[in-house]
Amino acid sequence: MRPQATVVLDGFGTLESLRWHDGALWFCDFAHGTVHRWDTLGEPETVLEVPGRAGGLGWLPDGRMLVVSMDGRRVHRQEPDGSLVVHADLGDLAGGPVNDMLVDGQGRAYVGNFGFDYHGFVRQRPNAMLYAPPGPTRAPLACLSPEGELLGLSEPLVFPNGCFLIDEGRTLLVAETLAMRLTALPVLPDGRLGPPRPWAPLVPAWLWRSLNSPGLRGRITRRVSSLLDHQAIADRSDTPIAPDGIAPGKDGTAWVANALRGECVRVGPGGTILGRVATSQRTLSCLVAGPRGDTLYAATVPTDDPERAAQLDGARLEAYVLPS
């Protein structure tokens, strides 16, 4: 039996971007465009409304908050007086909604985007049909200076999503959600990102080759894989894993929020599965944090479609205390 997380908050649209900051858990509800703070004891407070759906979160060294406007394709900055100003406009760079974001200790921000209208596609066709050649449109990570200036773009990635720093800040680990893998990119001295390298595949190699095949094998694989769109079938499978949010684990490992099914998965370099914690719904973000730093938090959703999610308000925050 897998350990099971417990629901601690519910009634949200789509929870994303779990962050621990200044003694509290922060998160976005991108279905309703809000940012929330929760001290883990009372009720969460709504601290900000963001035009164009709130996405990734982070803080500059001086304490000002950065928050992504997904549909606005911008990064906003909250000033000390509470006003919201444009930190960076990514409209000319992003091929789809701007997504998750990491802000490092120097105030540099690494921001991903969908690359295309993902939700528009999957409302009409099974998710597996994204892999019919030439496959999903790729998108780079934008590297921003603390002042919001563009430092550079990474090489194009397959739906770059959650990320965090490893190797004492010398490497950025990023979830390529639609490639079903974790990828490492070196952080150059000027803050730009170097060439990507594989860190952990989360889909069997034979399945990945078949899924992307242009011939009959590919068409059959995509048809069979489309069954994973049925949640009851996805819940009974262990593979593949579609990494959405990711967070540091112990001993150089990563916790992965699996967007395909209700679980967080602990992954080691090379893709070794070291543990799983079950959640009640598909997971979009995870974080090991809390007052004692020993709690795995998971943001779970009945759907990641923002239109349906705003109607359902079925997103939950779940928690599991990790064994010492």
Q: How does pLDDT run across 247-284, given as a tens digit for each residue? A: 999 999 999 999 999 999 999 999 999 999 999 999 99
Q: How does pLDDT run across 21-51, given as a tens digit for each residue? A: 999 999 999 999 999 999 999 999 999 999 9
With a cut of 90, say whether residue 227 has pLDDT above it.
yes
Q: How does pLDDT run across 113-169, given as a tens digit for each residue? A: 999 999 999 999 999 999 999 999 999 999 999 999 999 999 999 999 999 999 999
Residue 134: is the preceding peptide bond cis (ω within 30°)?
A: yes
| Angstrom distance (rounded) from CA 32 to CA 306 | 8
With a cut of 90, say whether residue 173 has pLDDT above it.
yes
For the full predicted model, state whether its pTM sits above 0.85: yes
Contacts 24+ apart (CB under 8 A), 262-270: 262/235, 262/300, 263/2, 264/5, 264/296, 264/298, 265/202, 265/241, 267/182, 267/200, 267/202, 267/241, 268/200, 269/199, 269/200, 270/199, 270/200
Q: How does pLDDT run across 211-226, given as a tens digit for each residue? A: 999 999 999 999 999 9
- What is the reported pLDDT for 61? 98
Q: What secondary structure letter does DSSP report for 168?
A: G
Residue type, 41: L
Average pLDDT over residues 157-185: 98
- What is the reported pLDDT for 324? 84
Average pLDDT over residues 9-16: 97
Least confident of 143-152, 195-204, 226-235, 281-290: 226-235
Q: What is the mean pLDDT of the chain?
A: 97
- What is the reported pLDDT for 129? 97
